[in-house]
Amino acid sequence: MKEVRYVITDPLGIHARPAGILVRTLKQFKSSAVLFKGDVNVDMKALMKLMGLGIKQGDAILVRIEGEDEDSCAAALEKELKDNL
């Protein structure tokens, strides 16, 4: 299991497009990922639920990744987060 922590810096937060990018990135791997925002968590492959969290600038998120390729998956997600959010 790998964990990625990140604080959103993008002023618009995780809206449709960045959420889509995250989901798409994740789907290239076999691992599953759960995104935590405070007490709430969602399956990160579910775009709608991810968007539904309404994650905004300044929100701290935690992504917990599990699977055979969790290392590369975590690295890829972290990169996308930093690049886009």
Partner 1 sequence: MALDYRKCAQEIVDHIGGRENVAQAAHCATRLRLVIKDNSKVEKEYLDSVDGVKGMFESNGQLQLIIGTGTVNKVYDEFLSITGMTAATKDDVKAAAAAAQPLWKRLLKPIGDVFVPILPAIVASGLMMGLVEALAKIPGLGFAESDWFGFLDMVANTAFAYLPVIVAISAARVFGGNIFLGAVIGLLMIHSALTNGWNAANGYGVWYLFGHNFMIGGFTIGQINQLGYQGHVIPVILSVFCMCQIEKFLHKHVPEMLDLFITPLCTVMITALLTFMLIGPIFSSLETIVLNFAQILVKNPLGAMVMGALYPATVVMGLHHMYNVIEAGMLSSVGLNTWMPIASAANFAQFGACLAVGLKTRNAKTKTVAVPSALSASLGITEPAIFGVNMRFYKPFVAGMVGGAVGSIFGAITGIGATAYGVTGIPGYLTINNPIIYTILLAVSCGVAFAGTWSFWSEEESPAARSASAPAPAAPAASAAPAPQAPASSSEELFDQKAIIKCEAGEVFQPVRGTVVKQEEIPDATFAQGVLGKGVGINPDGETVFAPMDGTISSVAESKHAIGITGPGEMEVLIHVGIDTVNMNGDGFEPFVKEGDAVKKGQPILKFSKEKIKAANYSDCVVVLLTNSDDYKEVQTD
* Catalytic-role residue among 15, 45, 49, 64: 15
**Residue with smaller CB distance to partner 1, 2 or 55:** 55
Give the integer Cα–Cα distance in Å for 1 and 67. Answer: 7
**Residue with smaller CB distance to partner 1, 21 or 34:** 21
Q: How far is the CB of 25 from partner 1 (least distance, A)?
A: 10
Per CB under 8 A, residues contacting partner 1 are 12-13, 15-17, 20-21, 23-24, 27, 46-49, 51-52, 54, 56
The string of DSSP letters for 55-70 reads: --TT-EEEEEEESTTH
To the query of whether residue 48 is one of the catalytic residues in this protein, the response is no
Say which residues have a Cβ less than 8 Å from residue 81's Cβ, sequence separation at least 6.
4, 6, 22
Residues with catalytic roles: 15
